[in-house]
Every structure is written in structure tokens, then in C-alpha cells.
Chains A and B, each alone.
Chain A
Amino acid sequence: MLTVTNIETFYGPSQALFGVNLAVEAGELVALMGRNGMGKTTTIRSIFGLTPARSGSIEFEAKDLRRLPAYRIAQAGLGLVPEGRRCFPNLSVRENLVVTSGPGYWSLARVEELFPRLAERRYQMASTLSGGEQQMLAIGRALMTNPRLLVLDEATEGLAPVIRREIWSAIRLLKEQGQSTLIVDKSLSELLPIADRCTILEKGRTVWNGQPDALDDAIRDRYLGV
């Protein structure tokens, strides 16, 4: 579905990615892992054309995504939940959701069913939501575009445990529905049981790729520092 081959990305003169390889097949949940600063977010920014890759290839359903503007990449079927709680604070929950809606399974009603807290706060400004609710809103906003591949960047970082559990159960539910997902997250205990495959980045390179069962302690110690 998504095939990222050997991409190199720069921030101005400094190189951040030195050859990232990554693949997500339809229906899979792929975990993108690595310590801080190893290039996970940059990889996602490159996929979405926000920090375009200078070399390598990014293909989604046999379509070349490199050099496309971000909105065309999103239109091609990728949905991004960016790092941090990125909703639009000055718009209501409903406005945040409705603006990006596209045809497909996900509608306002279905998102509100997935996250009942959003239904309760439908008319509130997004700025008045708690961090966890804003994160739910960001996920809901991405789902409203009906993406064939959902990309979650640190969706549960810095949230209260009770909210985390809600978000993880939503992610599990999405996986059961066959949603293809690429996910960056640090809570391995939640992530590994549902991941189909893991890709580990180290200093801007893909250094390990395999099934979560094969992720032994040696690899964890070496690349994830846990």
C-alpha cells in the first residue's frame, strides 16, 4: 500500500534522514519506532510532503507521492494525526470535524460514536477541551477524511492513563475494522500486541524491520533504550 524506499530528507543544510525504508500493506498496523531524534516525525513529514524528501521514492497505491503538495497527498488517501494536539482551537468541535469530511464510512455520527466525549462537547470550542479530548478530536478529524492509511504521530504522548486507554481501545477498534495504520508511539506495551510489523529507525536510517515477536531484548536495548 505505502512503500517508502531509501528516502533522504534535509532541514536546510542538515541531513535528517539517510535512507529510510518502510512499508505498510493494506489492513496492517505498522509501528515506527526509535529513540527521540532518530527521524520518526521527519519520516512522516516527508511522506506528507511537509518536509519533502530529496531522494528516494514514496509510493502509495502505485502513485508517486513525492513532489505532490500536501493536500494532494491527503486527497490520495492518507490521513495525518500530527504530533501534539493539533486541532483548531478557535473552532467548535463540530466545525473541526465537518470541514475535512469526505465521502466514505466515517461521518460525524460515527466519529462521535467512536469518541462519545466529542459528542458531549460538540459545540464547545476546541480550546476548551482537555488534552486527551483534543487528541481524540485530532484523530476524529483525520478519520473524517476517510483515509485508507491513517498515520498517528505520538497520539498518546503526555495524556492521562485513563484517556490513553480510551485512545488505545479506539485504535484497536480501528484495526479490527481493517483500517491500515502507521503509528509512532513510545508505549510499547500497548503497541506491540497489536502491531503487525515494526520498523526501527536509528540516526535517520531503517535499522530493523520485522514482526513484533522477533523484537528481542537485544534489539530493544540497542535501539529503543528500554
Chain B
Amino acid sequence: MDKLKTGIIAPPGLPAMPARWFDRKGLVQIGLLALLLLAPLAAYLLGHIYYINLASRITVIAMAAVGLNLAIGYGGMVSFGHAAYFGLGGYVAGISAYHAFDFTPFMSWPVAIPGSDSMLVIWLAAILLCGLLALAIGAISLRTTGVYFIMITLAFAQMMYYFANSWPSYGGEDGLPIYLRNTLPLVDTNQPLVFFLICFAGLLLSMAITSRLMKSRFGAALTMARLNDTRLATAGISPYPIRLMAFVISAMITGLAGALYADLNGFISPTMLSWHFSGELMVIVILGGVGRLYGPLAGAILFVMMETLLGGLTEYWKLFLGLMLLCVVLFAKHGVMGWLAGRERNE
């Protein structure tokens, strides 16, 4: 068979060409990454720790939105329940740290599972658990489409929210503090700049995974499933498992972001699971540009900066966010990235 069958099939050719660093799109993308990387470095040199943490917050939220963008933008699955994975990732980090701090086991029967304060263990657990949860939720939800899919994903996330709210062992609605930030070998995660760099690496990795996935045969099939699933089916490929796989990967990325978010704030609470957060992630994806690789990053920068700058001036900053969203939906359908970098081949 053709050796291209499973490998990268996006061409070095004309319109599908990846961004070169010196064209408009490439410059915008590099600019966004440089902004995100250099701002906290400058803040470090000037000694403003607050701004380093702000950059970490942008990075982690962007990463969660990268996950959601894979579902909404590339897969056409409008999930209104990605807070479930974000929150689950956060709770994995929080609960694990809680037991490690207490020297109590998370579970002693049938198998003993101790808590752990190692980020590597926590990340792995968060990714696996989010993948399993998304497999179950996706397997059911993906039998529906349109507004039913939106509602059913929302319903599952709300179930998680109320469950966490009423589970007193882990703080219930008060949440659970993480007294000591979880650790990584060789580096001091308590250093804000180090933690930022960890988050930044996570964001880059999740974007690289998305990009590579969408250039593969799988990505082309996912695009086909989004555009016209009967046309894909008449070629002998069932759209369902392809969507489900993309949904699971999307949840894993958002879940990992949730674990980082818990460590960033040193605190978890059911708010991470609430539908408000699902909505915010959607707003970020739409603001940045649906189905654009750098859209979630652009959206997260805009969202968090508005929240910080306008939120400092007025309690009603979301009014301005709403107006901006309205403008994007009405006048710039491809979001900030579409406006800054021009249209992309899949638009």
C-alpha cells in the first residue's frame, strides 16, 4: 500500500502549505508565542511575580481551550461540558496531593493506591482518567448531534459538578487546598518562572499534537466527518469511532490543563467543573478562531487580559466581553486569528 497511508499526508505544496515564519500568519503565530514567553521573562527580571503567574494562567487556560478546539473546531463537536475534564484533572491533582500531604492512602481496597505529590504521576492519572471519562461520555453523547449533543455534554458535566459539590471528604463546595505545590524531579516547581515554563511546554506539546493529528489521515477523516459524515460513510469509514477518538484526545488535553491549573492556584473547587467554565472555554475558542491552531492561545490572551484589566476597573467587565464576542460573531467569523493572520485553508 501507499506509504503515505498512515503518515503525514499534508503536502509541502501550495495552499495547504504550513506557515513559513516570515509570512503574515507565521509572524502572527511566532509573535503570540514570543509575547507569551517573553512577558514573564521580563516580569521575572523586573521582579513582578504576579505577572508571571498571570502568564501561567493564560497558558493553562489556552491549553484547556486547545483541547476544546480539537472537539469544536476540528471535529465539529460542540461540547458544552469540557469543564468536566478540566475539573477532573484538577481534582486528580488536588486529591492526590491531599493524600500525599496526609500520608493517607487514596484507596486501600481492593488495591492500595497511595497519594502522590509527583506531577508526572498526577499528569498520567489525570490524562488516563479524563480519557476514560470522555470515552464513556462521548460514547453516549456522540449518538446525538446538534443541540442535543450540546445539552447532553452539559448534563454530564453538571453531574460531575454536583457530585463534587456534595462530596464532603474532598471539601464539597468549599473546595480543597493544595498546601504544597506538587513536584517534578530536578526542578523547583515553586519557582513561578519554572512553573510557567512547565505550563508553556504543556501548551506547545498540546498544540503540536493537534497539528500533527490534523495532518494525518485521521485528521483528514475527522475533517470529512465534520463536513459531511454520510459522504465519509459511503466511502466505508464510520464517522463515529473517529469522532469518539478525537473527543477523547480533546478531553485528555483539557484534563492535563486542569491538573496544571490546580497546581497553579494551589486550590481546587467545584467551580472548575461548573458550566460557567465550559462556557468560558467556548468563548475563548470562538474569540480566538474556531479550528485555528493558534486560536485558543489568542483567545486566552484576550480573555484573561480583559478579565484582569477590565475586571480591575469594573465588576461588569463581562459586558465588554459580550460585546466583543458579538463583534467577532457578526464581523470576524474566524476570530482574532482570522483577523490577524488571514483565512486558513479549512475555512
Contact residues of A with B, CB < 8 Å?
Answer: 48, 50, 69-75, 79-80, 82, 86, 88-92, 94-96, 98-103, 107-109, 122-125, 128, 141-142, 144-145
Contact = CB atoms under 8 A, between A and B. Distances in A.
Contacts of A79: 235
B5 interface: yes
A91 B233 contact: no
A92 B230 contact: no
A79 B234 CA distance: 7
Contacts of A103: 1
Contact of B233 (A70, A108, A141, A144): A70
A125 B16 contact: yes
Interface string B75-92: 000000000000000000
Contacts of B224: 88, 91, 99
Q: Main SS of chain B's interface residues?
A: loop
Contacts of A141: 235
15 contacts: A73-B234, A80-B234, A88-B227, A92-B10, A94-B4, A98-B9, A99-B217, A99-B224, A108-B4, A122-B11, A123-B11, A123-B13, A123-B16, A124-B15, A144-B235
A73 B217 CA distance: 22
Contact of A69 (B227, B233, B235): B233
A86 B227 CA distance: 11
B11 A75 contact: no
A123 B14 contact: yes
B236 interface: yes
A95 B218 CA distance: 10
A125 B10 CA distance: 11
B238 A91 contact: no
A71 B10 CA distance: 25
B236 A101 contact: no
Given A99-B235, A141-B235, A70 B230 contact: yes
Nearest to B3: A108
Interface in B216-239: 217, 220-221, 223-224, 227-228, 230-239
Interface string B190-204: 000000000000000
A82 B233 CA distance: 12
Contacts of A128: 15
A167 B234 CA distance: 21
Closest 10 A-B residue pairs measured CB to CB?
Answer: A123-B13, A74-B236, A123-B11, A100-B235, A70-B233, A71-B233, A71-B238, A95-B220, A80-B234, A90-B346
Interface string B230-256: 111111111100000000000000000
B143 interface: no
A79 B231 CA distance: 11
B5 A88 contact: no
The residue among A69, A80, A96, A99 with the most chain B CB atoms within 10 A of its own CB is A99
